[in-house]
Each structure stands twice: as structure tokens, then as C-alpha cells.
Amino acid sequence: MKNIQKIIILSKKYHNKITNVLWLFLEKFFLLAVEILVISLVAKHLGAEDYGVYNYVISVVAILSPFSVFGLSGVLVRYCIDSKNLELSNIISSAIFLRFIGSVLVVILVIFFIFFSALQSEIALYLILLALSELFKCLTAVASWFEANLLNRITAKVKISVVSISAVLKLF
């Protein structure tokens, strides 16, 4: 009987953590499934040559996108856990500002890349549009607060919604 009571106490203690892990697992599984579906349908629709151009544009921006993140994700979660509420707004706003500056740097690097390479105007336009989408990634700093407070179900729901909308737009 004492063992059952210990198990019940432990399960209540770790319920929030287990729930967060399950939400993260659900999110990753959903993102992977949607990505596989979208990639296969886009590749089938575009054909080999256009799909190669699509991947070229994505890879150029993906190579430069680490400059917009500055490796702040793990550090930001740690500071959200350790900091007092008064400092938290300063930390998150500073991270958003740094990521925005990094995203602007990515856009500038893409423009330099386009300027110094002989790309078709259509491909250059795609590169600029995709680089401009990096500007919105600065807002992901807010997700670190949710992760630090073990509220991953909220971020998982938002990411699932965003990926679903993005997948529909990609297919459209």
C-alpha cells in the first residue's frame, strides 16, 4: 500500500513534466509528418528543375540563418529560469532585439550574395522574400519563457497551427 502511495505522489509531482514531454513529442511528430507530406507534394508538382531551384533558395538562406539566432535559445531559457521577473522583460526584449539585428544582417548578406552572383531576377526575388521572412523569427524569443516555465503545450499548439497554415500556403 505504501508503494502505491509513493507512486501516486511521484506521478503527481512529475505530471507537468511528463505532459510537457508528451506535447513536445506530439509537436515533433506532427512537424515531421507535415514536412514529409509537403516536400513530397511540392517535389511532385514542381518537377526536377524547379524543385532544384526551390532547394537552392532554401539552402542559401539556411546557410545564413544561424547569424540571425546567435545561439540564444538555450541561453535564453536558462536566463528565464534563473532571472527575477523584473529582469525578465529586459532579457527577452534584448534577445528579440539581437535576433532582429541578426535577421537584418541575414537580409544584407543575401542582398550582397545576389549582387555578387549572376542570378536570374526570379531567383533573386525568392531569395529576398525568404530572407525577409527571417525577420519574424526574432519573435521566437518569447517561446523561451514558455519553455522555462514548462508551458510547452502552448508553444506546441502554436507551432502546430503555424506549420499547418504554412503547409497549406506552400501547397497553394
Whole-model pTM: value is 0.70
DSSP-assigned letters across all residues of 113-167: HHHHS---HHHHHHHHHHHHHGGGGGGGHHHHHHHHTT-HHHHHHHHHHHHHHHH
Q: pLDDT value at position 131?
A: 84
Total domains present in the chain:
1
The boundaries of the domain holding residue 54 are 47-171
13 is a domain residue: no
16 is a domain residue: no
Could you tell me the sign of the dihedral formed by the alpha carbons of 108, 109, 112, 117, in that order? negative
35 is a domain residue: no
70 is a domain residue: yes
Which amino acid is it at 26?
L
Mean pLDDT calculated for residue range 108-137: 84
38 is a domain residue: no
Contact present, 140 and 74 (Cβ < 8 Å): no
Residue 44 has pLDDT above 60, yes or no: yes
| Orientation angle between helical segments 85-116 and 72-82, nearest 10 degrees | 170
Average pLDDT, the chain: 78
28 is a domain residue: no
For residues 43 and 54, what is the distance between their CA atoms, to the nearest angstrom? 9
Q: pLDDT value at position 128?
A: 86
For residues 34 and 31, what is the distance between their CA atoms, to the nearest angstrom? 5
For residues 78 and 143, what is the distance between their CA atoms, to the nearest angstrom? 13
What confidence category does residue 94 fall into, taking pLDDT thresholds of 50, 70 and 90?
Answer: confident
For residues 168 and 32, the model is more confident at 32
7 is a domain residue: no
Residue 5 has pLDDT above 60, yes or no: no
Residue 82 has pLDDT above 70, yes or no: no
36 is a domain residue: no
